[in-house]
Chain A
Amino acid sequence: MADTDFDIIVIGAGCAGAIAAYVAAKKGKSVLVVERGEYAGAKNMTGGRIYAHSLKRVFDDYSEGEITTEDIPYERKITHERISLLDPESSMTIDFTSDELGVDGRDSYSVLRAEFDQWLAEQAEDAGAEFINGIAVEHLLKDDAGKVYGIEAGGDEITAQVVIDAEGQNSLISERELGNPRSKRDAMAVGIKEVFELPAEEIESRFLCNEGEGAAMLWAGDATHGYTGGGFLYTNKESISLGLVATIEDLSQSDTTIYQMLDDFKKHPSVAPIIKGATLSEHSGHMVSEGGYNSIPELVFDGCLVAGDAANLCMNLGYMVRGMDLAVESGRLAAEAACDAIDAGDTSKAGLASYRTKMDDSFVIKDLKTYALWPETMENWHRMFTDYPKMVGEIFNSMFVVDGKPTQHLKKRIMPIVKQRGLFKLLGEVKGALKAL
């Protein structure tokens, strides 16, 4: 094996990259992380919430008990799950809370990436990884046979036995240097988010949460004015993350811009009170992969592996969104596969193939496979975003509105509302969705 500057170069210090660097450094490899932000997290944005299981596993396995949940800069433990159907004139919300949501190993937390990613990077650095910040990787170095042997960044060439591409969702390197396909407009969404600062007690009282705990909330319907997508909210320690996700194809043909949608959403009578009196602190944007299993690109190349958002590892199930736990797991598995390949003296595509096998055996690919049909089902389920929130509003109006006129049995009130939409069509659509989910 030729001498290289580092054993492993990691592109990007997000969840996948920082964890890959941490694991590889813990395994005694020399690691360089090249992060284009001035600090880790400077270019990152999440909704967002991380399911803690995969991070817990990494630190349980590699930190010798030094890093526990208490050390991680989480914002709030999410103990309330809210889903809401939004019509211009009504809103129906379910607020679910359960002891199960907070159990160690099943817990999830809101995070803000500027702080969270810097902490992850610190752990990788403490483990021995080196960092270059503020410079984007421009090219991969390839030998005559096409094997990746390093990177070019800021005019410098740096070599390694394995490069782990964890560059994120706007995956220029994966597309332009590795030849993976550019994501399709109907398999990619744009996320827009604003952070509103509020005192901790105010957040807890607005969301009926205990101290230090918080809520996650997703909206379907008028949040995106009926276009494919939805609204989201996550409570942080002293702020609220509020935003929208909309599929690029549908949005590009719509009658409203994404930022106008967000402004309208913020002014909806059922949303405005949430952020009343709060101070707007940041306006951000980020893409979200919506294609699921069928959007996963090639993960293993000669001398190079792809992890995290760059590999489109994201699940939007409508009632929940997962990405960061998949990124963490893929970062760990990429690092383990890279270290094994280096130890075995074969970092070719065949030598690195265990990454794909490990991924296939992990919850990442298994879960994405389980929900493989869902992205298309959701994409084509237009009534979920338009007529069904309205129907639900009509049903609940028929239950709760009292005007002094003689009333009728519930069945007589509700059935016409449902029949108008076609009872069997509705049942068929719900059945189809349950099958895809």
Chain B
Amino acid sequence: MKKLKPITVNVDELISLNHYNVDEENAHIELDHENLDEVDDTEFQKLVRVCPAALYKVDEEGHKSFDYAGCLECGTCRICCEDTIVKKWEMPQPTMGVEYRFG
């Protein structure tokens, strides 16, 4: 795996243009450890690279973060890591999640 070049784009601003019904109660994606420090670094780094909504982040101090709220429901993280660190991947609850207006 190559070292990641600096990230200059703020994806949170981009996905804020989308329409979502965020399900605060239910996480439709879960990793194998609730404490992200225990999640495998290399596998997590793969998710950082492939997720188009930048839900998987590692900050400058090396701390991992994950938030399903801006999920585009593409399933890329599932194909990438369901056999390793992605423990749960379900469709969001009824009427929840992203709602494309263009698509």
- A residues apposed to B, CB below 8 Å: 36-38, 41-46, 112-114, 116-117, 134-136, 154, 169-170, 172, 182-183, 185, 188, 190-192, 194-195, 239, 241, 248, 251-260, 262-263, 280-287
Give Cα A45 to B18, complex, Å: 13
Give Cα A91 to B45, complex, Å: 31
Q: Is the CB of A281 within 8 A of B78?
A: no
Q: Which residues of B contact A280 (CB under 8 A)?
A: 14, 17
Give Cα A253 to B3, complex, Å: 9
> Looking at chain B's contact residues, is the secondary structure mostly helix, strand, loop, or mixed?
loop
Q: Which residues of A contact B74 (CB under 8 A)?
A: 169-170, 190-191, 285-287
Give Cα A172 to B53, complex, Å: 20
> Any chain A CB within 8 A of the CB of B8?
yes
Give Cα A262 to B50, complex, Å: 12
Q: Is the CB of B9 within 8 A of A259?
A: yes
B46 to chain A, nearest CB (A): 4
Q: Which residues of B contact A117 (CB under 8 A)?
A: 103
Binary interface encoding of chain B residues 6-19 relative to chain A, with 1 for a CB under 8 A from any of its CBs, else 0: 01110100110110
Q: Which residues of B contact A113 (CB under 8 A)?
A: 100, 102-103
Of all chain A residues, the one with the shortest Cβ separation from B89 is A172
Q: Is the CB of B18 within 8 A of A256?
A: no
Give Cα A190 to B89, complex, Å: 17
Q: Is the CB of B103 within 8 A of A285?
A: no
Q: Is the CB of A114 within 8 A of B4?
A: no
B98 to chain A, nearest CB (A): 7
Q: Which residues of A contact B100 (CB under 8 A)?
A: 41-45, 113-114, 282, 284
Q: Which residues of B contact A260 (CB under 8 A)?
A: 5, 7-9
Q: Which residues of B contact A262 (CB under 8 A)?
A: 9
Q: Is the CB of A282 within 8 A of B101?
A: yes
Q: Contact partner of B1 among A241, A253, A285, A286, CB < 8 A? A: A253
Give Cα A253 to B7, complex, Å: 16
> Any chain A CB within 8 A of the CB of B31?
no
User: With contacts A194-B14, A256-B49 known, what are 10 further pairs, Cβ within 8 A?
Assistant: A114-B101, A116-B103, A135-B95, A172-B90, A172-B91, A182-B83, A188-B76, A192-B52, A259-B54, A284-B72
Give Cα A38 to B51, complex, Å: 24
Q: Is the CB of B80 within 8 A of A282?
A: no
Q: Is the CB of B49 within 8 A of A251?
A: yes
Q: Is the CB of A46 within 8 A of B48?
A: no
Q: Is the CB of B103 within 8 A of A263?
A: no
Q: Which residues of B contact A170 (CB under 8 A)?
A: 73-75, 78
Q: Contact partner of B50 among A42, A241, A251, A282, CB < 8 A? A: A251
Known pairs A42-B99, A46-B103; A257 contacts B54 (CB<8 A): yes
Sampled A-B contacts (13; CB under 8 Å): A41-B100, A42-B103, A170-B74, A182-B82, A248-B76, A252-B46, A252-B49, A254-B2, A257-B4, A257-B49, A260-B9, A283-B17, A284-B98
Q: Is the CB of A285 within 8 A of B78?
A: no
Q: Which residues of A contact B52 (CB under 8 A)?
A: 190-192, 258-259, 283-285
Give Cα A346 to B8, complex, Å: 59
Of all chain B residues, the one with the shortest Cβ separation from A189 is B76
Known pairs A182-B82, A256-B5, A283-B15; A134 contacts B98 (CB<8 A): no
A269 to chain B, nearest CB (A): 17
Q: Which residues of B contact A192 (CB under 8 A)?
A: 52
Q: Which residues of B contact A44 (CB under 8 A)?
A: 100, 103
Q: Which residues of A contact B18 (CB under 8 A)?
A: 282-284
Of all chain A residues, the one with the shortest Cβ separation from B57 is A257
